[in-house]
Chains A and B, each alone.
Chain A
Amino acid sequence: MIQNLMDGILTGSIISLGAIGLTMVMHMLRFANFAYAELLAIGAYAALVFDRLFAALVPVMDQAFGGLSLTWSLTLATLAAMAITGLSAVLIDWAIFKRIRQKADALSMVFASFGVALIIRNVITLIFGLKAELYSNDIAFAMVLSRDPLLLIKPDQVFVLVAALVLMTIFHLVLSRTTFGFALRAVAENPALAQVAGVPLARIIIVVWMIGGAFSAAAGVFYALTNHLSPLIGHNFLLPVFAATIVGGIGSVYGALLGGFIVGIASGLALQVLPSGYSPAMPFLIILAVLLVRPQGLFGEAEQT
């Protein structure tokens, strides 16, 4: 029980990171972007490439920190991957979504996003193959916190949780303390009004994609660090990330944060009551429940008509 709760929190931190960007993009650009979760895969694989590169160039950097499977090269690779993924997100928007936005309605955008997701997934498969890749072949062993009840935790997971919380805190400070953050929130609230007030919409959209891409890359790397890489990472996270966004309320950054933890914990605890084969249904159930009880999400504001 406590173990499931703990695992849920850890998985939840990864989902939260993915959901923060999605909720902003979805609210600002007003469409459900099914290609968004693929950014996790781009990030994870970009980090893999940089990790191998750095480790080969400077072998000293391939030393793992005590207890973690994280190395200096992977740390730097993660930062590089965050930048690359942010740029990819901007590039995809410029090449595809921006053009469709100008010509067609939101539904066309949704369909286009399906196509983009397929393209990204298959390009990654073409380059890296379908087989599972790992940052490090060593298995990082869990620490036993308590024998009865059995309580296990991996050092990597603690790191992931801390790193995710740090990223979220930084983002919170930016949002609440800076002019830029204010502009961002203004656009999220009402793009047209923000533009009238002198906020450069086009530039804000680019920044939002950058932030979303960077956070997704971090989520992808953190996931791959505690599990493994596969071209399907994005696909596997699509549903939990969407569930988190909907639970939190589309457009609410803090909602997405909390939503990620709710989905993670609920999926973990689901095994207590449901047979293991049914646990993948949990995100669906959460979406259904939220839409029935509070369609605007926990933190979302009801649509004003």
Chain B
Amino acid sequence: MKTKYLRQLVIAAALTVGGASVAAADCPVKVGVALPTSVDWGKPIAETALWVADMINEAGGVDGCPVETILRDTQVDAKVGVDAAKAMVDLDKVQLMMGAVSSGVTLPILTSVTVPAGVMQISCCSSSTRITGLAEEGSTKGLWFRTFATSNVQSAVLTKLAKDAGYGKVTVFYKNDDWGQDMASLLDNALKASGIEVAASIAITDNQPSYRAEVTEALGGNPDAVILALYPKEGIAVTREWISLGGTTKMVGANSLRSEEFRDAVGMQYLGDFIGADTSSPRTASASAFVEAYKAKFGGEPSGPGLPNSFDAAAISLLAYHAAGNGATGAEIAAKVPMVTDPAGEPVDANVEGFKKAMALLSEGKSVSFQGGTGAVTFDANGDVSAPAVSWVFTETGIDERQYIPLEEVNAFIQSLN
């Protein structure tokens, strides 16, 4: 174990020292892609990233050099993912890594492969705020970006919905896992900051015979409403128990409960006051343009998770690579990302024409504002993005969107919490 760690250090040191010379201006430009191609929902994410690389090549390539994407499967497994990333960094000498899906895979790649080697990493699909914590500590050295909204956005939207509904005192039920615990602590802060009293925050461990004791405890707090950061399986058990013991039907639920199973098992008659939260793609021209382009390319709706996010991650990072020039190191590429996502810059579209225009402007040293599948992306200091949100409700026939909350409103609300 210790020797393995040492070896990693040696390789990392060798790469950081020799980084610039290793990545001398060779054609083609190699780019690493670590995504779970072996799972059914992971494959379209990878195909989307490769599609962007093709478009960039059509527009002239990175700094006049064609992009060669090296795609490796992570199998949504931390060990496989780290091995894949390591091979691409050590053997193919990539300076840019796209990936991975799931924070459990992304995090070890980031901490043990890309950051030690000075390679820039951008993920389409990881939401854990633990990575935000690392970025705040400076452990990611500014090499980390993601185009997927964090749990922080999700919890802020839940808070906003509770506040808009006029609830003054709430009880939080959260799933007792990494995601749920993250949500619970974020919710606790957000709710308190917006002046809502948290009567209790109760962990729900899944696969328990009974949640009666937990629900009884929540009942004692006598809240106006409950916030549910649960998955449908335990959500059904908790919600039914809660209602049968006379708990309020005023409920605010996380996106994980956006399921017909939950509606059917709890019963529509008790879900009249239920409001759900979810992040969403923006209602902008560029987002609909992405949907159209995707349909034209793949012959189907981009309905799977993370597709516009994957598109934007690939486009932004490759444009930044172009701006930094062939032979740039990971840190140099990362430093150019703000030039691609500059709100004051010239807006460019997410198509071959747009990429051509963007690359011409970037070569002149001008900044652009990339208008992608998730809108005009901007990263904060920790490489995180925000996202617009929607609220949804259960109806007799399905699940309907009720309200669209634009990005500006979400951001303003998150700001007001700090």
Q: Which residues of A line the B interface, CB within 8 A?
A: 3-4, 7-8, 10-11, 14-15, 130-132, 134, 137-142, 144, 150, 152, 154, 223, 226-228, 230, 232-233, 235-237, 240, 267-268, 270-271, 275-277, 279-280
Contact = CB atoms under 8 A, between A and B. Distances in A.
Contacts of B233: 130, 132, 230
B214 A271 contact: yes
Contact of B207 (A223, A227, A232, A268): A232
A14 B212 CA distance: 14
Contacts of A228: 236-237, 240, 265
Given A228-B236, A232-B207, A276-B203, A139 B244 contact: yes
Contact of A227 (B176, B210, B245, B267): B210
A141 B246 contact: yes
B243 A139 contact: yes
9 smallest beta-carbon distances between A and B, as pairs? A277-B203, A276-B203, A271-B213, A7-B212, A276-B202, A139-B244, A132-B265, A142-B245, A277-B176
A276 B216 contact: no
28 contacts: A4-B213, A8-B213, A10-B212, A14-B209, A131-B261, A132-B237, A132-B261, A132-B265, A139-B240, A139-B270, A142-B244, A142-B245, A150-B219, A152-B219, A152-B245, A227-B210, A227-B237, A227-B240, A228-B265, A233-B209, A236-B207, A237-B209, A268-B213, A270-B213, A271-B216, A276-B217, A279-B205, A280-B208
Interface residues of B, number: 31
B46 interface: no
Contacts of B244: 139-142, 154
- Secondary structure of the A side of the interface? helix
B278 interface: no
A144 B247 CA distance: 12
Interface string B207-245: 111101110110110000000000011001100110111
B287 interface: no
A235 B207 contact: yes
Contacts of B205: 277, 279-280
B265 A7 contact: no
Contact of B213 (A15, A233, A279): A279
Among A236, A271, A277, the most chain B Cβ lie within 10 Å of the Cβ of A277
A181 B237 CA distance: 39
Nearest to B219: A150
Interface of B: 176, 202-205, 207-210, 212-214, 216-217, 219-220, 232-233, 236-237, 240-241, 243-246, 261, 264-265, 267, 270
Nearest to B222: A150
Contacts of B241: 227
Contacts of A141: 244, 246
A236 B209 contact: yes
Nearest to B241: A227
Contacts of B270: 139
A237 B241 CA distance: 18
Given A11-B210, A279-B205, A279-B214, 13 more contacts: A7-B213, A132-B261, A150-B219, A150-B220, A152-B216, A152-B246, A226-B210, A227-B241, A228-B236, A232-B207, A271-B214, A276-B203, A280-B208
A154 B240 CA distance: 12
A4 B240 CA distance: 18
A276 B204 contact: yes
Residue of A10, A15, A279 contacting most chain B CB atoms (<10 Å): A279
A11 B216 CA distance: 14
Contacts of A10: 212
A141 B209 CA distance: 20
Nearest to B218: A276
Nearest to A18: B209
Contacts of A230: 233
Contacts of A144: 246
Which residue, of B176, B212, B233, B236, has the highest number of chain A Cβ atoms within 10 A? B212
Contact of A3 (B210, B216, B261, B265): B216
Contacts of B267: 137-139
B295 to A, nearest CB: 32
B237 to A, nearest CB: 6
Q: Which of A15, A134, A139 has the most CB of B within 10 A?
A: A139
